[in-house]
Amino acid sequence: MMTTLALMATTKAGPPIESALTIYNDGFALVREQRELDLTDGPQSVLVEDVAQMIEANSVSVRSLSHPGSIRVLEQNYQYDLVSPMAILNKSVGQPIRFHRMLANGTKEVVSGTLISAPYPTVADANGGTGQTYNGMVIRTDSGGILLNPTGEIEVTELPEGLISRPSLEWVLDAKAGRNRIEFGYLTQGFHWQCDYIFTLDNEGKTGSLKSWITLSNNSGTRYQNAKLSFLAGEVNRVPIENPRPGMPGARSRAVTASDGSIWDQVIGEYHLYKVPFTVTIPDKSIKQVSLMEKSGIQAGRELVFDLRRYKGAPRNAYPVPFLSIKPNFVITVKNDEANQLGVALPKGVFKVFQHDQEGQAQLLGEDAIVHTPRNETLRINAGKAFDVVADYLQLDYKYIDNNREIGSIATYQVLIRNRKQSPVEVKVLDRFEGAFTVEDTNGVTRPDSNTLQWTLNLKPDETRTFRYTVTTRW
């Protein structure tokens, strides 16, 4: 049987008739293609070219659309040893070669010999541009000499066997004779997508419009022509790939923007699937953007938040917190509900916030990464640090407790906040502690959760406010 298979002729599958891609957040995609085959009766070899170079070969599935159940895959091989100068040299070890080098007098010399060792990646010669320096290459010349790390040009006498120009799948099929349209699918690495949001506020900073794009990069090693395109948002569990075949992602080309359209969202399992309503061509080594949605009349809020926990050391650190002058986070909030012109599932990505100045020019306020956000949740965009509101944060006292019955600490803190704006502001102050703790405070502290203390202060223009609190912690 093996001898028969080795001698059988190979049929090439036609180019893709239809293609569809579902791209996932975690760097991979599901590819589905339809192609046509002219098959004979019995076992036969079929070559499918132009598959992804970073294909997961163990994920391939095949079925006949023309004659369901008429095809059985007996064997599958994925061929990805592509033609390249280094691949040719690596496969030419032990074979005769000719080496062309430029002599000092300007003449060329041709040296014939046998390649003993292939080079490392080549380095351009920095001494006159006379060729490439092949570090690690060893040639035994026909005259008996040995050339080490030569500089020049290499000529091989023939192309080694086993090299191909395009990544390919080779199947041995047991099938019935006739023309068949097949559908096959596979998973491939080399893809990435995220959402990019542009939220532009009016000059008062209260109402804005949202434009979002899905940004896709393809480094899978092949081009997808007129493909149906979907994006799946969610955390899909996958088993780690052991000893993965190294991919060959290259430099990305310029972004290509697809025509605007209304991408529609559907729930599948516990995820959200976004389908592009038009076909898209995705070149290899490219970045493409497709429009996700546009919304207007969106109300936005803003908060100034001092988060004091980030300025402390380890939770059980007995050293005092140094005197600090700090700025609050400038946080923009957007309620993702229908009453606020939204109420849609928002995939994770980068959220940029702009605001029109008094002349109508949009200026960047800041950007933040958002996680997958379902409807009726609130987006909190950390745009940056406020300029005109300042706080001084100081630990006034610290006592470490260790009396054989309990271990903990007693610490007293002081916060002094100054509003240098010409308008009133509301400021939130957060502090967080680990373990069981109690607080002594007369400034209206609340506990939004078991580990957090929160103060909400309203300051008039140029007002300064000081408060102290003492926290007793048990570990």
- Tell me the two tokens of residue 468: 């102290």
Q: Give the separation between CA 20 and CA 66, rounded to whole angstroms.
A: 19
Would the CA dihedral through 174, 178, 179, 181 be positive or negative? negative
Using DSSP bridges, classify how beta strands 71-79 and 96-102 pair: parallel, antiparallel or unpaired.
Answer: unpaired
- Tell me the two tokens of residue 64: 């006949």
At residue 422, the pLDDT reads: 95
At residue 156, the pLDDT reads: 86
- For residues 32 and 102, the model is more confident at 32
Helices and strands, number each (H, E), in the chain: 2, 36
Please give the sequence-ordered ranges of beta strands (E in DSSP) within 300-375, or none if there are none: 301-307, 324-326, 329-335, 349-356, 362-370
Give the type of residue at 417.
I
Q: Which of 18-32, 99-113, 160-174 has the highest mean pLDDT?
A: 18-32
Q: Give the separation between CA 351 and CA 368, rounded to whole angstroms.
A: 5
- 440-464 pLDDT per residue, tens: 987 889 999 988 999 999 999 999 9
- 174-225 pLDDT per residue, tens: 988 889 999 999 999 999 999 999 999 999 999 999 999 999 999 998 999 9
pTM of the model: 0.76
- HEC assignment per residue over 224-268: EEEEEEEEEECCCCCCCCCCCCCCCCCCCCCEEECCCCCCEEEEE
Q: Contact, 428 vs 456, CB < 8 A?
A: yes
Of 33-42, 256-265, 434-443, least confident by mean pLDDT is 256-265
Q: Which of 43-52, 190-199, 243-252 has the highest mean pLDDT?
A: 190-199
Q: How many CB atoms lie within 10 A of CB 366?
A: 17
Task: Say if residue 228 is exposed, middle or buried (CB neighbours under 10 Å; 0-12, 13-18, 19+).
Answer: middle
Q: Contact, 162 vs 179, CB < 8 A?
A: no
Please provide the average confidence, as pLDDT, over all residues in the chain: 86
Q: Contact, 166 vs 158, CB < 8 A?
A: no
Q: How many CB atoms lie within 10 A of CB 461?
A: 12
- Could you identify the residue written with the tokens 């949202």? 210
Q: How many CB atoms lie within 10 A of CB 263?
A: 19
DSSP conformation letters of 257-317: EPPP---EEEEETTEEEEE-SS-EEE-SSEEEEEEEEEEEEEE-EEEEEEEGGGGS--TT-
Does the pLDDT value for residue 248 go beyond 90? no
Does the pLDDT value for residue 302 go beyond 90? yes
Residues 6+ apart with CB under 8 A from 246: none
> What percent of the chain is predicted at pLDDT more than 90?
50
Q: Among candidates 43, 48, 68, which has minimal Cα distance to 60?
A: 48
Q: How confident is the model at residue 6 (pLDDT cuts 50, 70, 90)?
A: low
Q: Which of 273-282, 402-411, 434-443 has the highest mean pLDDT?
A: 273-282
At residue 241, the pLDDT reads: 67
How far lies 346's CA from each of 205, 292, 337, 341, in Å? 22, 10, 11, 13
Lateral strand order in the sheet of 10-12: 10-12, 42-49, 168-175, 71-79
Residues 6+ apart with CB under 8 A from 83: 159, 163, 164, 165
